[in-house]
Amino acid sequence: MFTLFSIDGGVCAPEGFFADGISCGLKPNGQKDLAFVYSDRLCDIRAIFTSNRFQAAPIVHFKKHAIETTNFVLINAKNANAMTGERGVEDIEMVLSHAKSIHKNIKNPAMSSTGVIGVPLPKAAIMQGVEAFDLNTKNPDTAAKAIMTTDRYEKQIAFEVKLENGETFRIGAMAKGAGMINPAMATMLCFITTDAAIPADEMAPMLRMCAETTFNAISVDGDTSTNDTVMLLANGASGIYEREAFAHALERVMHELALKIVADGEGASKCVSFHVSGASNKEEAMMAAKALTNSLLVKTALYGEDPNWGRIASTIGASGAECDPQKLTISFSNVKVYDKGVILFDVEQEKKAAAVMKKSAFSIHCDLGIADGEFTAYGCDLGHEYVKINADYRT
């Protein structure tokens, strides 16, 4: 048994972690655009990266150096350092080597970037910025702000985990992303810190497991960025670890940040859970649920607050999952509109379903009625603001 307590402090909540965000001139008007996460003792670090075949230079750099321990991660917004070839990696090496020469404590630094693809890293500005860092600062809010791009608000979270015997450890995180996954300006990045004494070899499998139901279950626009990154830094400062408690806390942290990203989806006004059950297996449930989060017709119907269940049925039918109109049921929250071949969509029921859709968060349940495969994916509506943001983005 264990208990989670929500606490302040984001990535700085766990013992020994520091973070700050400054402006180095990449964003206009002196907005914060460069952040770091630092630990006063060496951390184990593991990361999961985008499945995009054109992985950005920071990812190539991380893999090239096979970074497994570190105490410093540098993050910039406004430039993705993607499609920049070998020069992109060399630029990172220059920036990080400069950081080490200024801040002698830094060991095996890593970098992470988000922003426009195909523009060389503005390394002079970033190096100047790094010179201004004070590594002993705990400004998690400013760090979370500095990594934002089209995000409307910063995203962070922290928990203290209390084990049954009274021992505690902490986990904190910050994330950015307003398109999952928008390759131009809204790459999804997440940095998780912990003082739990997690064995290094448990980190990567646990990250991957938790990602499946959290960051890999959300979609804003169905695009997969060149830069997506989730990093877990563990410095062991608490000396405490319990596998089950840590896995639970990690899943919770990633789940809540994933939902914050969906809720902050570019132009989005609604966060919708698509719960698919009764599929042939989990993979098919996932196919159907993700198809729903990515269907333009479903997304525009959400925006229009129109309980157009036909679009939901049609999307499931086209998803590739095994299904049968005589076995399918569809509900908006607890309002059933289609039940195994019977349309329950009279004026009264339509009104009730429309009322559900007016909420800023609700769920849509689809039971395929075939076996017990189940998955929940999280999506948002698509409205005029999305078009505006993405049509006018670079200009």
What are the residue numbers of the active site? 187
Query: Is residue 218 close enough to count as binding its own copies by CB under 8 A?
Result: no
* Cβ nearer to its own copies, comparing 30 with 325: 325
Query: Is residue 349 close enough to count as binding its own copies by CB under 8 A?
Result: no
Contact pick of 311, 331, 370, 375 for its own copies (by CB under 8 A) = 311
Query: Is residue 345 close enough to count as binding its own copies by CB under 8 A?
Result: yes
How many other β-carbons are positioned within 10 Å of the β-carbon of residue 50?
Answer: 21
Cα 155 to its chain centre, rounded Å, is 10
Query: Is residue 301 close enough to count as binding its own copies by CB under 8 A?
Result: yes
Query: Is residue 24 close enough to count as binding its own copies by CB under 8 A?
Result: no
Q: First and final CA of the chain: distance in angstroms?
A: 53
Query: Is residue 16 close enough to count as binding its own copies by CB under 8 A?
Result: no
Question: CA 247, 252, 257 angle in degrees (round to 5)?
Answer: 130
Instruction: Name the nearest CA neighbour of 168 among 232, 237, 231, 234.
Output: 237
Contact pick of 22, 117, 207, 259 for its own copies (by CB under 8 A) = 117
Structure tokens at 56: 């950005």
Query: Is residue 295 close enough to count as binding its own copies by CB under 8 A?
Result: yes
**b/e 359-375 (16+ beta carbons within 10 angstroms → b):** eeebbbbbbbbbeebbb
Instruction: Name the nearest CA neighbour of 290 among 375, 382, 177, 186.
Output: 375
* Cβ nearer to its own copies, comparing 14 with 383: 383
- The region of 30-38, 121-129, 148-156, 309-317 touching its own copies under the rule CB under 8 A is 309-317
Instruction: Name the nearest CA neighbour of 28 among 101, 98, 77.
Output: 77
Structure tokens at 382: 């698509």
* Cβ nearer to its own copies, comparing 7 with 297: 297
Provide, rounded to whole angstroms, the least separation between the CB of residue 123 and its own copies. Answer: 16
Per-residue DSSP letters for 320-343? Answer: SS---TTT-EEEETTEEEEETTEE
Contact pick of 1, 28, 53, 346 for its own copies (by CB under 8 A) = 53
Give me the residues paired with residue 157 across strands: 173
φ, ψ for residue 191, nearest 5 deg: -120, 120
Contact pick of 42, 67, 197, 313 for its own copies (by CB under 8 A) = 313
Q: How far apart are CA 194 and CA 102, in angstroms?
A: 26
Contact pick of 213, 224, 363, 376 for its own copies (by CB under 8 A) = 224
* Cβ nearer to its own copies, comparing 126 with 181: 181
Q: What is the amino acid identity at position 61?
A: H
Total residues binding its own copies (CB under 8 A): 68
Provide, rounded to whole angstroms, the least separation between the CB of residue 352 and its own copies. Answer: 16
Q: Cβ distance 96 to 112 under 8 Å?
A: no
Q: Cβ distance 381 to 268 under 8 Å?
A: yes
- The region of 17-25, 68-76, 180-188, 275-283 touching its own copies under the rule CB under 8 A is 180-188
Q: Give me the 230-269 binding string for its own copies, x by CB under 8 A, dash otherwise.
A: ----------------------------------------
How many other β-carbons are positioned within 10 Å of the β-carbon of residue 334?
Answer: 9
Q: Give me the 59-98 binding string for its own copies, x by CB under 8 A, dash otherwise.
A: ---------------------x-xxxx-------------
Q: How far apart are CA 356 and CA 350, in angstroms?
A: 10
Query: Is residue 190 close enough to count as binding its own copies by CB under 8 A?
Result: no
In the window 325-344, what residues touch its own copies (CB under 8 A)? 325-326, 338, 341-343
Query: Is residue 300 close enough to count as binding its own copies by CB under 8 A?
Result: yes
* Cβ nearer to its own copies, comparing 164 with 324: 324
Q: What residue ranges in 123-259 does DSSP mark as E strands?
A: 155-163, 168-176, 189-194, 229-234
Q: What is the amino acid identity at position 14?
A: P
**Rule CB under 8 A: which residues touch its own copies?**
50-55, 80, 82-85, 116-120, 179, 182-184, 221-226, 294-297, 300-301, 303-304, 306, 308-311, 313-318, 321-326, 338, 341-343, 345, 382-384, 386-388, 390-395
